[in-house]
Amino acid sequence: MSQLEKVDQKNIWHPFSPLAGNKPIAVKKAKGVYIHTMDGRKIIDAISSWWVNIHGHSHPRINKAIGRQAAKMEQVIFAGFTHKPAVDLSKTLMKLLPDSITKIFFSDNGSTSVEVAIKLAIQYWHNQGKPRRKIIALEGAYHGDTFGSMSVAERNIFSAPFNDFLFEVSFIPFPKGDGNEAIAKMKELVGDETAAFIFEPLVQGAAGMQMYAPEVLDQLMAIAKSKEVICIADEVMTGFGRTGKMFACDYLENDPDVFCLSKGITGGYLPMGVTAVNDRIVKAFDVADRAKAFFHGHSYTANPLSCAAANASMKLLLTKKCQLDIERIAMSHEAYMKRFVANDHVLEIRSRGTILAIELKADDAGYTSAIKERIYDYFMERNMLLRPLGNVIYIIPPYVITNQELSKLYHAIDDFLAQL
Ligand SMILES: Cc1ncc(COP(=O)(O)O)c(C=O)c1O
């Protein structure tokens, strides 16, 4: 590893780490739930490599699908052309998403799926000659790192250098508990000038796996819908089984107008963003006037290799085995929560589907909490990748993780808390 570190790393700018003293671990291969390092370590990937890898690394079925597709066609312009892998994926997504959703728009990642959603919502009103300017979002929100997605998210250390350049958004409190404060604020803010309401349904990931009730989100959406506000569900993290159901919105009575999808969509293999919309949105763009077209398109839109990976990933996800695995992980987390003995350091333990989070008490709570590095190092020394969100330890595993592996993680968490 020392060789690789010295020779190869000096020209690479890694995300999220100070440039000085950054010592990334060199990875030789990754298989199933394990990351194998150049220096011979076998690290359990308890966070699915930034929440993307739902079937484990290097899955033979996805490997094969990408290989087969590469032999036929690696990439083709998606303006004026189409291909079977994209069509197949659109058909599968139509079966999984609510009936009201009728079209998908491809982009490259989670942030761009959100950019597309925001632009569609704004242009929806523009195309009808009744522009609306206000966007409502939740406090604590994270929707990506591009300017639009940063604008609709909480202003924090991530966004600080750019805050003056972000467009204005109205925030409602995070809808914890009965959500009454958020509901009251929503009623106060929403009006005929409100274009869109964007939210991470049921779980705010980057905020520290903060969870809230479907009933509260349903009430917030009902208020938004009473003013015809476009409801955008950012399911980039929650989609594809993470919360126990295919989508977090499957827990709701109300359907959003727009879904943002990414991360798990390709099984964590290749970048892809999808913005799925209902007929209401489509109709506003389905007009002869060229000026009303949606002028947005990325070079790799609907890349055939990404689509092939997504099709293979969807097939795996829909198998009985995978659905049972999701259920098994959810039940395992619940059982752990029941037997969990909180000590003075624990503020809360919570879970939703395959996501488990333990929030520690901290005076400096949040992403930059000082305890973050201590947590990270403790688990890495034990070959467990549990990259905390500040003072929040969480597990969001590939669905192929075994009960024994989960048990090892729970024990390590217990041991960590006991020695605090
Ligand atoms: C809810 C949500 N939206 C959007 C994004 C941005 O996705 P990406 O990193 O693929 O741009 C993330 C990333 O963590 C996310 O959690």
Task: Give the nearest ligand 1 atom to 112 CA.
Answer: 11
**Euclidean distance between CA atoms 298 and 285, whole angstroms:** 19
CB of 234 shorter than 6 A to ligand 1:
yes
Calculate the alpha carbon distances from 272 to 70, 72, 98 in Å: 16, 20, 21
- Take atom 10 of ligand 1 and give the residue whose Cα is closest: 110
Q: One-letter amino acid identity for 262? A: S
Task: Give the nearest ligand 1 atom to 113 CA.
Answer: 4
Q: How far is the CA of 237 from the centre of ligand 1 (A)?
A: 7
Name the one residue in this structure whose structure tokens are 């966070």.
47
- What pLDDT score was predicted for residue 230? 98
Fold classification of 62-317 (topology level): Aspartate Aminotransferase; domain 2 (3.40.640)
pTM of this structure: 0.97
- What pLDDT score was predicted for residue 1? 46
CB of 143 shorter than 6 A to ligand 1:
yes
**Euclidean distance between CA atoms 249 and 338, whole angstroms:** 26
**Dihedral sign from CA coordinates of 163, 164, 165, 168:** positive
Domain layout of the chain by residue ranges: 62-317
**Euclidean distance between CA atoms 258 and 101, whole angstroms:** 8
**Euclidean distance between CA atoms 57 and 51, whole angstroms:** 12
CB 27 within 8 A of CB 35: yes
CB 399 within 8 A of CB 55: yes
Residue 162 CA to its chain's centroid (Å): 22
CB of 111 shorter than 6 A to ligand 1:
yes
- What pLDDT score was predicted for residue 4? 54
- Take atom 4 of ligand 1 and give the residue whose Cα is closest: 143
CB 272 within 8 A of CB 239: no
As averages over each run of 10 residues, the pLDDT of the chain (420 residues) reads 57 78 87 97 98 98 98 97 98 98 98 98 97 98 98 95 98 97 98 98 98 98 98 98 98 98 98 98 94 96 98 98 98 98 96 98 93 96 97 98 98 97
Task: Give the nearest ligand 1 atom to 51 CA.
Answer: 14
